Amino acid sequence: MMRGHQTWLFQNKPVIIATAAVGGPYEAAGPLAGDFDLLHGDLWLDQDSFEKAERKMLEEACEVVIRKAGLQKQDIQFFLSGDLLNQIISSTFAARTLAVPFLGLYGACSSSMESLALGSLMVDGRFGNNIICGTVSHYAAEEKQYRYPTEYGAQKPPTAQWTVTGAGAALLAAAGEGPRVTAATIGRVLDMGITDPFNMGSAMAPAAVDTITAHIRDLGISLNEYDLVATGDLGRVGHRIAADLLKKHDIELPQNRFTDCGILIYSEDQTSVLAGGSGCGCSATVTFGHIINRMKKGELEKVLIVATGALLSPLSYQQKESIPSIAHAVSIERPH
């Protein structure tokens, strides 16, 4: 059911019966390595292009999540996925492999929670069961498409972020064991006029705050109800801006309860990541790996994941457009 202007409250609380996280070499060297189901030692995955390697990770995440749920491919009713490649080819080609009814999504890096929100809505409304919600990104494939092929060795400012090489997937069902999705807030597109694609955290921070404030307003709750609020990929620069903007709304969370997937996934020693991780795979792998694992261990009862997306294209940037941004928030609870 709708609550307020932009929030869905799920009365049947869809269950995340399994999750999967697949990562690449930089993720394997990071502090969350132990939370991945599968890690690759190089960016190629034995494929002849980075795009094919990206697709393969998403296919692997789907395989792993089906296996962990104890299901077969034919038990899956829908696949909801989006990614950053033009025409979301990683998702569509993975959907060809899965061969189940497919809904393609695009919300840039917010696609992880866009798919989880829509999948939860479908399960909650009895419009489907055993739904895979997935997404993927790949450092070299995205650099090539959005900026420069990495072989050029182009330099970047310290506000730039590092695209996560990783795929995440969740399997949603009407019944079963696992954390449950209780609500989702769908974001509006905001644009504060930032035009620098090397500073996307700043562009996306206002969208994250807009969605967080809508979420607590629509549900009439305090953000303190959550043990953890994690933005998707604001990185160190954007996350600080988000914290400052929340303060202006009189919302302040202790540092250990307000974090960002793009900060968590790499260590401070990994200096090449600059301001932190980004990409569809960032919030997906951290949520469906690390955060769900912490919930299962009993360390977290209730979390809010606020996946952020920068809705630019290289063409819109070249045409001097600013960067519209969006954020979708999903709350996940551990059953008592």
Which residues lie near its own copies (CB under 8 A)?
Answer: 1-2, 5-6, 8, 49, 51-52, 77-78, 82, 84-89, 92-93, 95-96, 98-108, 114, 118, 121-122, 124-129, 186-191, 311-316, 319, 321, 324, 326
- Residue 14 φ then ψ, to 5°: -55, 145
Going by C-beta distance under 8 Å and a sequence separation of 6 or more, which residues neighbour residue 97?
A: 59, 62
Which one, 90 or 259, has the nearer CB to its own copies? Answer: 90
Which one, 69 or 190, has the nearer CB to its own copies? Answer: 190
- In whole angstroms, the minimum distance from the beta carbon of 269 to its own copies comes to 33
Which one, 70 or 314, has the nearer CB to its own copies? Answer: 314
Are 184 and 8 in contact by the 8 Å Cβ rule? The answer is yes
* Residue 293 half-sphere exposure toward CB, CA atoms < 13 A: 13
- In whole angstroms, the minimum distance from the beta carbon of 256 to its own copies comes to 30
- In whole angstroms, the minimum distance from the beta carbon of 267 to its own copies comes to 30
Are 249 and 222 in contact by the 8 Å Cβ rule? The answer is no
Rounded Cα gap, residues 328 and 306, in angstroms: 6
- In whole angstroms, the minimum distance from the beta carbon of 273 to its own copies comes to 23
* Residue 58 half-sphere exposure toward CB, CA atoms < 13 A: 33
- Residue 210 φ then ψ, to 5°: -60, -45
Which one, 268 or 321, has the nearer CB to its own copies? Answer: 321
Are 210 and 245 in contact by the 8 Å Cβ rule? The answer is no
Rounded Cα gap, residues 330 and 7, in angstroms: 9
**Terminal CA-CA length for the chain:** 23
Which one, 107 or 277, has the nearer CB to its own copies? Answer: 107
Which one, 243 or 305, has the nearer CB to its own copies? Answer: 305
* Beta-bridge partners for 80: 103, 133
Are 181 and 7 in contact by the 8 Å Cβ rule? The answer is no
Which one, 129 or 159, has the nearer CB to its own copies? Answer: 129
- In whole angstroms, the minimum distance from the beta carbon of 303 to its own copies comes to 21
- In whole angstroms, the minimum distance from the beta carbon of 135 to its own copies comes to 12
- In whole angstroms, the minimum distance from the beta carbon of 107 to its own copies comes to 5
Write the single-letter amino acid at 312: L
Are 94 and 81 in contact by the 8 Å Cβ rule? The answer is yes
- In whole angstroms, the minimum distance from the beta carbon of 63 to its own copies comes to 17
3-state secondary structure (DSSP) of residue 328: strand
Rounded Cα gap, residues 1 and 120, in angstroms: 12
Which one, 49 or 224, has the nearer CB to its own copies? Answer: 49
